Amino acid sequence: MSEMICYCFGFTAEDIERDYQKNGSSTIMEKIRTEKKIGNCQCALENPKGR
């Protein structure tokens, strides 16, 4: 099982790796950064580690 990277949007390390291999960069990480900037990140609540 791949490590969960983003609990807010449900992305795993494997998802990000596949995305990078397919696109040459991570569109998933770009999406996460954009969502965080507009306040749609709830990592402190969703992540069991609190981050």
pTM of the complete model beyond 0.75: no
Annotated domain spans of the chain: 4-46
Residue given tokens 């609540």 in the structure block: 45
pLDDT at 44: 76
Q: What is the pLDDT of residues 9-46, one digit of tens each?
A: 999 999 999 999 999 999 998 998 999 899 988 877 87
Sign for the CA dihedral angle at 29, 6, 22, 17 comes to positive
Number of helices followed by number of strands (H, E) in the chain: 3, 2
| Alpha-carbon dihedral angle through residues 30, 32, 16, 26, given to the nearest 10 degrees | 0
pLDDT at 50: 67
Q: Given its phi and psi angles, is residue 16 left (phi above 0), alpha (psi -120 to 50 degrees) or beta?
A: alpha
pLDDT at 24: 94
